[in-house]
Amino acid sequence: MPFDPDARLTIDAPTRAQVSGVPLIQQEAFYCGPASIAMVMQWAGADISQQDVAALAFSPGAGGTYLADMIGSSRRLGQLAVEIGDFDQLLAEVAAGHPVIVFQNLGLGVFPVWHYGVVTGYDFAKDEVYLNSGQLDQMVMPFAVFERTWRRGDYWGLVVLPPDQLPVSAAETDVLSAAAALERVDQLEAAEALYETGAAQWPENWLWQFGLGNARYAQGDLRGARQALRRARALDPSIPEIRANLAFVEAEIAS
Amino acid sequence: MGLMNIGKKSVAVVLSAQLVLATQAVTMAQAEMLGTDAAINKYTALSNRNALMDEMQRADVQAGIIELGIDPAEAEARLAALSDAEISTILTQMERDNAGADIVGTLFTVFIILLVTDLLCLTRIFNFTRCVR
């Protein structure tokens, strides 16, 4: 039975979409996770191989890559990584021109075969989902088959983007947390870029300027930090955390 | 009389705890920059909670709750008893059920009322609410 967008989606997705320029990488044994991240990052223009990613993500003992390490390695490589969890989000991202990493179970009941692939397009009329799936040929799946394999992966998906771009289907809080996570793994330039991107998208929320101030401070940019924290304070003068950090930065500039 | 003493004592405990926290915040501010993570967790949780509470105050929601024979103050108390994580789950669920579009009008009112009746153990609509009874 073909995919019925009216019944399955709550968004208006275009009848077909294709993300161009996602390279097909032949995965090395068990490297579907690292290969997926490498494909998405190369699409965004990064010079990175599946081996580079594997060093940060792959667990040899498990013979695979954990979900958490997919997220963590993307962030350690300076990318914005946000999870998605349903068809609405998947198709909205693809329609917006973002490839999406999906977690699938390609096996049968008792014998699961866990796999990561990259969804690069779909076509309702042809009943097809297109994936770069660790082989040199594009993989084409009917929606029903894709749905079955993705459902058994609990509809887990990951949008990985450079920090000057934003996912279209993620909540603001999730993007904020992803930015703070970049700060935490010391990807300070990426964190700064993402806070700036978020501040442009959600200009009324002081947390973006607060994060921007902190990320600049951590890079030794005291005046830049002061400027961002002043903007944060202007957005909400009542927040003690902003005042405390601003005072801290100003004291350091004065000393 | 005894009860009142306990009440006063617990107020005092809460107040002094707040004082300690406030003092710590100031000390921390002098020692190092306050982190973005903590601020995000604190303030998004707060704004989620406030958003739900604000909706509870809407005239149509209040009217709906009263119509069901529920005391709005009790409904509010139940809502206040939810953890940050539970509030966040409720909002996520609410956004999904409302097609991720703007949550306005009837749908939202219905959602809040069902949520409240769930919290009061009168209905069992959402799997993420915790019935106290």
| pLDDT of A6 strictly over 90 | no
Q: What pLDDT, in 10s, does the model give residues A54-91?
A: 999 999 888 899 999 999 999 999 999 999 999 999 99
Closest CA to A81 of A93, A92, A63, A96: A93
Q: A244 to chain B nearest CA, in Å?
A: 5
Alpha carbon distance A181, B84 (integer Å): 20
**ipTM higher than threshold 0.90:** no
Asked whether the beta carbons of residue A176 and residue B99 sit closer than 8 angstroms, the reply is no
Q: A171 to chain B nearest CA, in Å?
A: 9
pLDDT at B133: 52
State chain A's mean pLDDT as an integer: 95
Q: What pLDDT, in 10s, does the model give residues A203-236?
A: 999 999 999 999 999 999 999 999 999 999 999 9
| pLDDT of A249 strictly over 90 | yes
Number of residues that make up chain B: 133
| pLDDT of B15 strictly over 50 | no
**Which of A29-33, B17-21, B118-122 has the lowest average pLDDT?**
B17-21
Phi, psi of A100, deg, nearest 5: -125, 130
Q: Name the percent of chain B lying above pLDDT 70.
A: 59
**Which of A148-157, B40-49, B100-109 has the lowest average pLDDT?**
B100-109
Asked whether the beta carbons of residue A88 and residue B100 sit closer than 8 angstroms, the reply is yes
Residues in contact with B123: Cβ distance below 8 Å, sequence separation at least 6, in sequence order:
B114, B117
What residue spans define the domains of chain B? 10-97, 100-133
Alpha carbon distance B59, A83 (integer Å): 37
pLDDT at B108: 67
**Which of A18-22, A185-189, B103-107 has the lowest average pLDDT?**
B103-107
pLDDT at B5: 43
Interface test with A, best of B30, B36, B88, B102 (most A CBs within 10 A): B36
Residue from the list B26, B39, B96 with its beta carbon closest to the beta carbon of A207: B39
Q: Which residue has tokens 């969804």? A: A119
Q: What pLDDT, in 10s, does the model give residues A97-112?
A: 999 999 999 987 677 7
| pLDDT of A166 strictly over 80 | yes
Q: B37 to chain A nearest CA, in Å?
A: 6
Q: A181 to chain B nearest CA, in Å?
A: 8
> pLDDT category, A7, cuts 50, 70, 90?
confident
pLDDT at B129: 66
Q: Is B31 on the interface with A (CB under 8 A)?
A: no
pLDDT at B2: 40
Here the tokens at position A86 are 């349903």
Residue from the list B28, B35, B99 with its beta carbon closest to the beta carbon of A10: B99
pLDDT at A154: 92
Residues 185-224 of A with CB under 8 A from B: 207, 210-211, 214-215, 217-218
Q: What pLDDT, in 10s, does the model give residues B54-80?
A: 888 888 888 888 888 888 888 888 788
Residue from the list A207, A218, A240 with its beta carbon closest to the beta carbon of B40: A207
Q: What pLDDT, in 10s, does the model give residues B114-128?
A: 777 777 777 776 666
Residues in contact with B70: Cβ distance below 8 Å, sequence separation at least 6, in sequence order:
B116, B117, B120, B122
Residue from the list A88, A173, A241 with its beta carbon closest to the beta carbon of B39: A241
Here the tokens at position A52 are 């580079």
pLDDT at B96: 63
User: What average pLDDT does this structure show over B29-46?
Assistant: 85
Q: Name the percent of chain A lying above pLDDT 70.
A: 99
pLDDT at B119: 76
The chain A residue lying nearest B41, using CA atoms, is A177
Residues 49-68 of B with CB under 8 A from A: none
Contacts of B25 in chain A (CB under 8 A): 240, 244
A251 against B88, higher pLDDT: A251
Contacts of A173 in chain B (CB under 8 A): 40, 44
Alpha carbon distance B104, B58 (integer Å): 12
Residue from the list A10, A240, A247 with its beta carbon closest to the beta carbon of B100: A10
pLDDT at B29: 46
pLDDT at B81: 78
| pLDDT of B52 strictly over 90 | no
Residue from the list A169, A207, A244 with its beta carbon closest to the beta carbon of B43: A207
Question: Could you give the count of Cα atoms lying within 13 Å of A64 in the half-sphere of its Cβ?
Answer: 9
Contacts of A215 in chain B (CB under 8 A): 36
Alpha carbon distance A20, A122 (integer Å): 12
